[in-house]
Amino acid sequence: MLRNVSTCPYCGQVSAAVDDEGPDLVLAPDLAGGVPCGHLAFVVASLEAYDSRDGARVPERTGHWLWVRGAGTRSLPHGPVDPLSACVDEVACGFPLGGPAPGVPYAVGGATAGVRDAVRPGSGEFPLGPLWGGPVSGFLDALALYSLRPDELVAEVRRLAAGVARG
């Protein structure tokens, strides 16, 4: 099943979705060719799957992705947080970066699982269906950054992430 990640606040296009059966990140799921709108700068998405009976992680149904304008999508490993995806999360959630926020105007789309469920119950945490006879559930944390100047936003967030990584 496709789960909407975010809709562009400027043009209204669905920017990305997570296919929870893959799992996989699907860009512009409503358009042939999967090319997102010109406002999208970043998408960071995580689908965490777990056994509904005991809470054990189900890696076969879990996925983490980062899409960057001009660079495409890459899968992120489970474990240490990638500096660029962490920076995108921090900017989207309004957390301090140890420096100024990006100077390029931007808008945030998507939400954490908790916010998704608060707005629409069952959209942040949901059943994925049985796997090898056991019930599996998942939760979706997915955020996107948009701008009328997306290339400038990408460059600035990359610079911020490099500074944070250097410490």
User: Which residues, 6+ apart, have CB-to-CB distance to 167 below 8 Å?
Assistant: none
Q: What is the DSSP letter of 166?
A: H
pLDDT of residue 15: 96
Name the β-bridge partners of 46: 64, 141
Are 138 and 125 in contact by the 8 Å Cβ rule? The answer is yes
With a cut of 70, say whether residue 33 has pLDDT above it. yes
Q: In this structure, what token pair is assigned to residue 5?
A: 């990640």
Encode burial over 123-147: b for 16+ CB neighbours within 10 A, e otherwise: bbbbebeeeeeeebbbbbbbbbbbb
pLDDT in tens, 122-156: 899 999 876 666 789 999 999 999 999 999 999 99
Split into its structural domains, the chain has a count of 1
Mean pLDDT, all residues of the chain: 91
Full-model pTM: 0.92
Q: Domain span at residue 12?
A: 2-166
With a cut of 60, say whether residue 167 has pLDDT above it. no
Of 117, 165, 113, give the one whose Cα is nearest residue 141: 113
DSSP, collapsed to helix, strand or coil, labels residue 102 as coil
pLDDT in tens, 52-88: 889 999 999 999 999 999 999 999 988 778 899 999 9
Confidence of residue 40 (pLDDT cuts 50, 70, 90): very high
pLDDT of residue 22: 84
